[in-house]
């Protein structure tokens, strides 16, 4: 078992390498094979690792052909590592896209809200015509609800894509809310500077008419 773990350390194991080093150290100081591999499975918190260790222990304790068992388990582990790498690459791309689209969505909602506000003021100020006033409070509340809903959906999607502890979704919620708040403030400042003067002049002309 000690020689097997020693050669396994030369493989590309990713995050499991440190755990295998601990198992190798336990076996080296005299711990039993079953206890070392059981602790490895518990530290990895992976059902695949637990199943592979269980199969290897059963084969080792009952005198099975370790070469054949090792080939099967090795192919299985390599396949799992490849799938994990692909999943991590896709998850990183999804995180990048989400962190870009969340502020863009907030900016678009803010711009549309400002345009709705200005058009509502302009339409109600036109003489000889009667227009219904747009309910701006409902639009503001709808924007807040939409941002919170999109933030929750994106955070849970990122957590499912990357896996891990469920509490990481709270981290994603915090990051997305910070990005949303920054985008909202930036869009508010931009709309006030860029369109405030133009629409103010139009309102003055309509008021003079």
User: Tell me: the pLDDT tens digits for 89-121?
Assistant: 888 898 899 999 999 999 998 888 888 777 776
In this structure, are 47 and 100 located in the same domain? Answer: no
Residue 209: predicted pLDDT: 47
In this structure, are 195 and 139 located in the same domain? Answer: yes
CA distance 22 to 27: 9
Q: Is residue 74 part of a domain?
A: no
In this structure, are 143 and 49 located in the same domain? Answer: no
Domain that holds residue 57: 2-64
Whole-number mean pLDDT of the chain?
A: 78
In this structure, are 25 and 97 located in the same domain? Answer: no
Q: Is residue 30 part of a domain?
A: yes
pLDDT at 15 over 60: yes
In this structure, are 200 and 121 located in the same domain? Answer: yes
CA distance 76 to 83: 11
Under 8 Å between Cβ of 182 and 103? yes
In this structure, are 116 and 173 located in the same domain? Answer: yes
Residue 100: predicted pLDDT: 92
Categorize the per-residue pLDDT at 195 as very low, low, confident or very high, splitting at 50, 70 and 90: low
In this structure, are 178 and 99 located in the same domain? Answer: yes
CA distance 68 to 9: 20
Residue 45: predicted pLDDT: 75
CA distance 54 to 74: 14
pLDDT at 7 over 80: no
Q: Is residue 162 part of a domain?
A: yes
Per residue, the 3-state secondary structure of the chain, as one string, reads CHHHHHHHCCCCCCCHHHHHHHHHHHHHCCCCHHHHHHHHHHHHCCHHHHHHHHHHHHHHHCCCCHHHHHHHHHHHHHHHHHHHHHHHHHHHHHHHHHHHHHHHHHHHHHHHHHHHHHHHHHHHHCCCCCCCCCCHHHHHHHHHHHHHHHHHHHHHHHHHHHCCCCCHHHHHHHHHHHHHHHHHHHHHHHHHHHHHHHHHHHHHHHHHC
Residue 24: predicted pLDDT: 82
In this structure, are 147 and 181 located in the same domain? Answer: yes
Which residue from 2, 17, 155 is spatially nearest to 77, judged by alpha carbons?
Answer: 17
pLDDT at 124 over 60: no
pLDDT at 197 over 50: yes
Q: Is residue 152 part of a domain?
A: yes
pLDDT at 200 over 60: no
Categorize the per-residue pLDDT at 178 as very low, low, confident or very high, splitting at 50, 70 and 90: very high
Q: What is the domain count for the chain?
A: 2
In this structure, are 161 and 195 located in the same domain? Answer: yes
pLDDT at 206 over 50: no
Tokens found for residue 53:
């260790």
User: What share of the chain in percent tops pLDDT 90?
Assistant: 11
In this structure, are 60 and 9 located in the same domain? Answer: yes
In this structure, are 112 and 183 located in the same domain? Answer: yes
pTM of the prediction? 0.63
Each residue's pLDDT tens digit, 53-75: 788 778 777 777 777 777 787 78
Q: Is residue 13 part of a domain?
A: yes
Q: Is residue 145 part of a domain?
A: yes
Q: Is residue 134 part of a domain?
A: yes
């Amino acid at each position: 078992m000690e020689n097997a773990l020693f050669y396994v350390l030369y493989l590309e194991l990713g995050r499991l390498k440190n755990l295998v080093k601990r198992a190798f150290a336990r076996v080296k100081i005299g711990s039993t094979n079953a206890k070392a591999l059981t602790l490895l499975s518990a530290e990895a918190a992976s059902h695949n690792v637990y199943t592979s260790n269980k199969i290897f222990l059963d084969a080792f304790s009952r005198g099975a052909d370790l070469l054949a068992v090792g080939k099967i388990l090795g192919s299985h582990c390599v396949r799992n590592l490849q799938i994990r790498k692909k999943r991590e690459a896709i998850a990183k791309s999804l995180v990048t896209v989400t962190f870009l689209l969340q502020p863009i969505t907030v900016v678009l909602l803010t711009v549309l809200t400002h345009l709705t506000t200005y058009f509502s003021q302009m339409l109600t100020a036109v003489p000889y015509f009667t227009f219904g006033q747009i309910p701006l409070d409902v639009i503001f509340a709808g924007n807040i609800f939409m941002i919170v809903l999109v933030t929750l959906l994106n955070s849970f999607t990122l957590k499912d894509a990357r896996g891990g502890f469920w509490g990481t979704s709270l981290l994603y919620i915090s990051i997305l809310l910070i990005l949303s708040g920054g985008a909202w403030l930036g869009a508010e400042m931009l709309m006030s500077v860029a369109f405030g003067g133009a629409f103010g002049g139009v309102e003055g002309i309509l008021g003079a008419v």
